[in-house]
Amino acid sequence: MADAKRDRQRAARQAKIEAELAARKRAARQRQAIIGGAIFAVLAAVVLIVNRGDDKKAVETSTSTTIAPSTATTAPPGTLPGTPESAAGKPCVARSQPLPEGAPEVDVEVGPPPTALVSKDITVGTGPPVPTGATVTVNYIGVSCSTGVIFDSSYGHNPPAPATFSLNGVIPGWQQGIPGMNVGGTRLLGIPPALAYGDTGSPNGTFGPQETLWFVIEVLDAKPPA
């Protein structure tokens, strides 16, 4: 009888130990599941944030506008919508839009468009002459020969919004027409298509192929090329 009682006690203790071990294993599995879920949630949140950042960059890239390096200007809205027709064979007409606030008059030479670069000083500056390939800061206004439309201007802001750029990165008409100006001076340029955008037309659709361009450019500063 004593032996049987001891056997029952040992069996009870063993069952209790096994039950405790099983409970500990279940608790460990639950902790692992909780930890694993938390890690998954964190990773999912990180992936979501990264994807949102990539999506934002993609939207920013798709909505940004890249202007061809051969132009010194960016076109304002509401000028020539769509893709304008070629200006080949069309005469130059006078400015057809009001001047922006503070802008100088653009004295377009009405009639047959020039076949060579036109360069006329309106005012001679008192500063040093602009060297070839300089980095310049300018105010400017541009008019299309065939339509008289003001296709771009740094004026109309208060104060005006000058542009700074290297002459090595703009159309040939600016590369040839600005050097030699004295800082502080203003010059009229009539630029034939061969020295502007030729058969391509404006890269942002503000005028068509074979357009002659008229500019008045005021040089505010010039730095020699490096």
157-214 pLDDT, tens digit per residue, is 888 889 999 999 999 999 999 999 999 999 999 999 999 999 999 888 889 999 999 9
CB 189 within 8 A of CB 214: yes
CATH of domain 72-226: 3.10.50.40
Q: What DSSP assignment string belongs to 40-70?
A: HHHHHHHHHHHHHHHHHHHHHHHH-----TT
98-121 pLDDT, tens digit per residue, is 999 999 999 999 999 999 999 999
Overall size of the chain counted in residues: 226
Is the pLDDT reported for residue 26 higher than 50? yes
CB 213 within 8 A of CB 196: yes
Q: Is 25 helix (H, G, I), strand (E, B) or coil?
A: helix
pLDDT at 69: 36
Segments making up each domain of the chain, as ranges: 1-64, 72-226
178-191 pLDDT, tens digit per residue, is 999 999 999 999 99
Return the closest-CA partner of residue 219 out of 131, 150, 108: 131
CB 184 within 8 A of CB 146: no
Q: What pTM, to 2 d.p., does this model score?
A: 0.65
Residue 162 φ/ψ region, left for φ over 0, alpha for ψ in the -120 to 50 degree band, beta for the rest: beta
